Structure 1
Amino acid sequence: MKTFRTEDGLSLAYDDVGDGLPLLCLAGLTRNMADFGPVVDRFASQARIIRMDYRGRGASDHADPETYSLMQEGQDALALLDRLGVDRAAILGTSRGGLIAMLLAATAKNRLAGVLLNDIGPVIEPVGIEFIMTYLGRRPAFADYDAAAEALSVNMADGFPGMTLDQWRAAARRWWRQEADGLDLLYDPALREAVIAQSEATGGADLWPLFDALDGLPLGLIRGANSNLLSRETVAEMRRRRPDMRFSEVPDRGHVPFLDEPEAVVLIEEFLEGLQ
């Protein structure tokens, strides 16, 4: 893991491995670069995998919560590419990372070689947002990773049936850190207030123009079959507007697929091959 400095003086963590076309991996709202471990393991021989932790997440510095925004996080992503001397990169964006990719398509399209969206689109279902708000910024009530795995296997069974305790334990290690008094967040809890404030300011904004800004770029979409954030109706409209968009639905996964599933792996491979 390496770090770089932003214009406002923050230290942001990143990782850069592999050879070939640069693939910038952007994580979900509360997540970090660890989510893309399967992508590194499988594709570092085919692409240059660049991962980063947004400000306030993972190993990156916490910041003024007002800067926990799509626009600032997009600017930070471009600053990382500048630091690495990368003129153009494809983006694999999970959830919030996909929104950042769409925003960059509208504001810095010349920097993008293609976009692969993981369980995100221009319509975000309210039920999915409501679920995120049940835990956003709140410390988990688990003593350790074993307890977390047991709880997740029950609480997430509808969206992710068939997951083993080992799989949930590995996920918990990516999402939380162990402290003496139990598990704690791997991100700034002030992210909750930032999301609420930004939602109140921009609530109901039409994101279809951002999706349409992807026009002309190679495009792919992975959807969890049980997703509560990205509906099949939204996917149908995305595919109508972009009939060339590669698409795969991952069974037994909600929001979001882990990117180690066969359906996800095949689509990532096809996406990368299509960029050559």
Structure 2
Amino acid sequence: MPHFDTTDGLSLYYTDSSESWTEIAADSDNDVPVVLCLAGLTRNSGDFRFVLPFLPEHRVIRMDYRGRGQSDWAEDISTYSVAQEAADAIALLDHLGIERATILGTSRGGLIAMLLAATHPQRLRGAILNDIGPEIAPGGLNRIFEYVGHRPAYDDFDAAADGLKAAMEPRFPGVTRDRWRLHAELIWKEAEDGLDLRYDARLRDALTHQAGAGPAPDLWVLWDALAALPVTVLHGANSDLLNTDILSRMQARARAMRGVTVPDRGHVPFLDEREALQGILSHLKDYA
């Protein structure tokens, strides 16, 4: 399985869709557009399972942040930060010899994209943000702290499918039980005593420490940096993290921003919805 080493000695997992493309391997000068997929806070490269089949003409790079998925956990939990994860993303691009990429960032991944736009704009072709902005609505933030670091209360994936379907139906109406079961398999794993996390539970401690370290930084400055690049924002119509007020203020500061609302979705869209796919594919076509 492909991994790369960080400057502080961790081994981070990634996937590269070009590994199965013999024509790319035979032509190293082939300028295939690169999409770097950056997942949500507690998520992993599986976040992009559903959109991957729709990107056959792109080189799609997916990574597991430190402390998530198949990557090493850090001894120093202070490195579970947007800044360090942005540095790790650049290290991955360097490892693969990629000069520029379009970021497809889900939630936390979108925050990383904003920071990269401010610190490494020359490495970005642009960004597609999945239901995230420079502010997080309070209700969504509270919900995040309710679950981060806590094991799911399900004995197996069948129970998880039933539980997720019932709990998420108000924000994700009509999503099938089979889809929720597959989602559960991507974000959790089986253990002898029930389902367990696919990430370091100390991520909660890192978030708590960062929240208590002082006033929250003004992320609108980072949004202004990203607004100088091609940017598309996908918005779940029922999202509790990215509301319409925040979205409208983002648009006011980024006139060229493409906003796409995905109906019947909360935080976050799966990315294979018709509206989400149209937004993603249109962005990649116009800004390759």
Q: Distance in 2 between matches of 1:22 and 1:179?
A: 36
Deviations 1:102-159 (A, max 9, x none): 0011111111110111000011011101001111000111000000011111111111
Deviates more, 1:241-250 or 1:63-72: 241-250
- The one of 170, 184, 190 equivalent to 1:178 is 190
CA change 1:203–1:185 in 2 (3 A) is farther
Q: Give the residue type in structure 2 aligned to 1:7.
A: T
Specify the alignment match of 2:29 in structure 1: none
Is 1:55 the equivalent of 2:66?
Answer: yes
Q: What does residue range 1-276 of structure 1 map to in structure 2 within 5 Å? A: 1-18=1-18, 20-43=32-55, 45-63=56-74, 64-276=76-288
Shift of 1:235: 0.6
String of CA shifts for 1:207-240, please: whole Å, max 9, x gaps. Answer: 1101001133111000100000001011111111
Q: How many residues align?
A: 275
- CA drift of 1:243 comes to 2.0
CA distance, structure 2, for counterparts of residue 220 and residue 245 of structure 1: 6
Distance 1:86 1:51 in 2: 13
How far apart are the structure 2 equivalents of 1:99 and 1:92?
11
Whole-angstrom distance in 2 between the partners of 1:141 and 1:174: 16
CA distance in 1 between partners of 2:84 and 2:254 (Å)? 28
Residue 205 of structure 1: how far off its partner (Å): 2.3
Q: Which moved more, 1:33-42 or 1:190-199?
A: 33-42
Sequence identity, in percent?
A: 54
- C-alpha distance in 1 between matches for 2:214 and 2:61: 30
The amino acid of 1:236's aligned partner reads: S
> For 1:102, what is the secondary structure of its paired residue?
helix
Q: What's the offset of the Cα at 1:38?
A: 2.0
| Paired amino acid for 1:126 | P
- CA distance in 1: counterparts of 2:125 and 2:94, whole angstroms: 15
Shift of 1:65: 0.8
Q: Distance in 2 between matches of 1:208 and 1:192?
A: 25
Contact 2:227 2:253 in 1 (8 A): no
Aligned-pair Cα RMSD in Å:
1.0
Question: Runs ≥4 in structure 1, deviation > 6 angstroms?
Answer: none
**Is the Cα contact below 8 Å between 2:227 and 2:257 reproduced in 1?**
no
In 1, the alpha carbon distance for the partners of 2:228 and 2:140 equals 30
Residue deviations 1:11-59 (CA, integer Å, cap 9, x gap): 100001147211100000000000111222110x221100000000000
**Displacement after TM superposition at 1:6 (Å):** 0.7
Return the alpha-carbon distance in structure 2 between the equivalents of residues 135 and 185 of structure 1: 11
SS of structure 2 residue aligned to 1:23: strand
CA distance in 2, matches of 1:58, 1:252: 28
Distance in 2 of aligned mates of 1:7 and 1:272: 31
SS in 1 for 2:227: coil
Normalised TM-score (structure 2): 0.93
Separation (CA, whole Å) in 2 of partners of 1:69 and 1:14: 18
